[in-house]
Every structure is written in C-alpha cells, then in structure tokens.
A and B are shown apart, each in its own frame.
Chain A
Amino acid sequence: MIIAERKPFEEIKNMIAGYKRILVVGCRTCVTICWAGGEKEVGILSSQLRLQSGRNGNELSILEATVERQCEKEMVTQELGDKVQDIEAILSMGCGVGVQTIAEIYEDKPVFPALNTAFVGMPEREGLWIEMCAACGDCFLDRTGGICPVVRCAKGLLNGPCGGTRRGGKCEIDPEKDCAWVLIYRRLEKQGRLDLMRKYYEAKNYRKVKRPGKIEALEA
C-alpha cells in the first residue's frame, strides 16, 4: 500500500492561510492503515486547526469528510456530494493521487496536500512501515526469492552484494538494516535455488515504464 506521513502543522497552517471555509478530506484506504490520513487523523488535524484559529481570534470554519478511496473520482464525487459547494479550499489527507483526483474534480477550488506521500510499503509491526517496491515496472522478484534488491539494497544491486556487507549480514550504509543480498541468499538456500545466485543479469531497463505510467486493461 501507499505510505504517507502528515506534514508539520506549521506548513499546513501556512498553506491554508487566507482561507476561512476549509474542507478536510481523508481517505479510508492506504493512508488510514498507515495512520496518516484516515477519519481519526482528519479529526485530529481539524481539531488542531480549530484550536489554533480560536486562539488567534480568526475563526475558521472547518468541515470534515472521509471518503472510501480518494483516488477514484466516482467515490469522491458521490461521498463529498454538495459538501464542497460553500467551501473556499480543500485540504486533502489522501496520498498524492488523492490530492490530484480531488483537484481534477473541483477545478475551481484550491486543493492543498496535508500529507507527504513517501513510498509503496508494508507494515513491519504496529506503527512501522517499510518500503518494499519501487514500482520500477520490470519485476525482478522471481530471481531473488521474493526480496526486492532494487529497494531493499541501499545500492540497488542486481547481481549479489557489494563488498561492504558487515558481519551479521548488515548493510554497510546502515548497520541497523539487513543486507538485502544476505536475505536473498538465505531465502534461496531454503528453497534449494542457490543456482540463481550464479546467474548474471544485465542492467535493468528503468525506462520500461514511461512516465507518467499508463496501463490499459485488455478487456476495457
């Protein structure tokens, strides 16, 4: 899923300065799971904005809404309905895709991002998310026992570890991190597929996905 984190309050406050009626919109999908932009986080940010404005004597009118999936136009229009009508600005707590979806639907309203979208990852434990996929467009996982060296090796090496692996299988860049290639070796060893370690692979074609990426399903 997409992992994001909230921008500092000061930055958000400065973005919306000058607007009085603001709609804070969360998303119930990825950013809810990573505690960045779900219904609760919308409540917290809205509450903070109200407290701040009350202190300044500059009363803001803050409306709250959370949609099922901010990256789908139908869901956004259906769930926001006429809430947007009297609003001066929208503060999106969705990922970058959510912000752009809302901005495309309500072209006459300024839409501001309250989150920094960071990466595609998975939860490692409660409150910790790790990047797992670079969305490179040319998946390599069949050869590496399901561990992506593009993201999980600090150098993105495709043909085994660099010379810097530390004792205990840690990375030379970050001694806290496991060396991806040690993990790959151990996984392949378990599967009896160590022969894959002897193969050489050509440099990856990172231009496989032309940016901006576009995929059209055949059935469409």
Chain B
Amino acid sequence: MSMGTDNKIIAFCCEKSAYLAADRAGRMRLYYPDNVRIIRVPCAGRVDALHMLRAFEKGAAGVLVMGCQEGACQHLTGNLRAKERVRYTASLLEEVGMDGARVKMVNLGPDMAQKFVRVVKDMAEKIKER
C-alpha cells in the first residue's frame, strides 16, 4: 500500500451538482489537472470520515468533497453534514501530523463548471507546494 506517494486528488462528487459540473467542464473542453479522480456519490452527505482517510491511506495527496450549495441539497442537510465531516477529518489528519488543508469541502451548482475547474486546479497547486 502506498501512502502519500503520488499526487492524486480524489473528488467525491454529488451526482446532483458537482458531478454534473465536472461533466459540463468536460463538454466545454475546459482544462483541469489529470491527477483528479472523480467518485460519483448520491449525496455529499454519503461521504464519511473513513472514506476520506482511506483515500489518503491508499496514496491520495488531496481529497475534495463536492456537494450542492447550502440550502440546495436534495436531501436537505447532506452538504451540511459533509462540511462537518470534512472539518472532523481535517482534525484527524492534523493529529497524525498531516496538513488538514489537504481535505476540502466545496459547494457548487450543476452549471458551475468553471468553479469546478478552479477548485481542482487550486488543490493541485496546493499539493505541489507541499
């Protein structure tokens, strides 16, 4: 098992928003780093601290949890729960001496392809710096 040896970014994308934004970015031929791996989830609220930690364990350098904008979650509070879990996971990473900023919550709508690209690029840059 490799740990933090490659620079992959795992993006857990809500299928109602971020996944559509990523798809749109592709259709618009927007460039974004090729080290991002998208995992489609039914809601950002499905992503657990354990999923994020396992991603790091298996070699990810960064994790993005991408859900709907606040107030727009189809499951009402999925994105708010995800936000709390990301915060909790950041604290777990810091306990083991890792940078908590390697995990990030992002809220975006299904048409926000540009924002999706910007967030992924930012994370890729951040990982390179560290």
Interface residues of A (CB under 8 A from B): 8-10, 40, 43-44, 47-48, 50-52, 54-55
Residues 39-95 (chain B) with a chain A CB within 8 angstroms: 48-50, 53-54, 56-57, 92-93, 95
User: Do B50 and A51 touch across chains, with their CB atoms under 8 A apart?
Assistant: no
- In the bound complex, CA of A50 to CA of B4 (Å): 11
Distance (whole angstroms) from the CB of B53 to the closest CB of chain A? 4
Complex: chain A residue closest to B89, CB-CB = A44
List 18 additional A-B contacts (Cβ < 8 Å) besides A44-B49, A51-B3, A55-B98.
A8-B95, A9-B96, A10-B95, A40-B50, A43-B50, A44-B53, A44-B92, A47-B53, A47-B54, A48-B92, A48-B96, A51-B57, A51-B98, A52-B97, A54-B3, A54-B57, A55-B3, A55-B4
Distance (whole angstroms) from the CB of A4 to the closest CB of chain B? 18
- In the bound complex, CA of A55 to CA of B93 (Å): 12
- In the bound complex, CA of A40 to CA of B50 (Å): 7
Contacts of A44 in B (CB 8 A): 49-50, 53, 92
Distance (whole angstroms) from the CB of A21 to the closest CB of chain B? 15
Distance (whole angstroms) from the CB of A38 to the closest CB of chain B? 11
Complex: chain A residue closest to B52, CB-CB = A47
Contacts of B49 in A (CB 8 A): 44
Interface residues of B (CB under 8 A from A): 1, 3-4, 48-50, 53-54, 56-57, 92-93, 95-98
User: Do B53 and A48 touch across chains, with their CB atoms under 8 A apart?
Assistant: yes
Q: Enumerate 27 A-B pairs (CB-CB under 8 Å) in ascending A order.
A: A9-B95, A10-B95, A40-B48, A43-B50, A43-B53, A43-B54, A44-B92, A47-B54, A47-B56, A47-B57, A48-B53, A48-B92, A48-B95, A48-B96, A50-B1, A50-B57, A51-B3, A51-B4, A51-B96, A52-B96, A52-B97, A54-B3, A54-B4, A54-B57, A55-B3, A55-B4, A55-B97
Contacts of B3 in A (CB 8 A): 50-51, 54-55
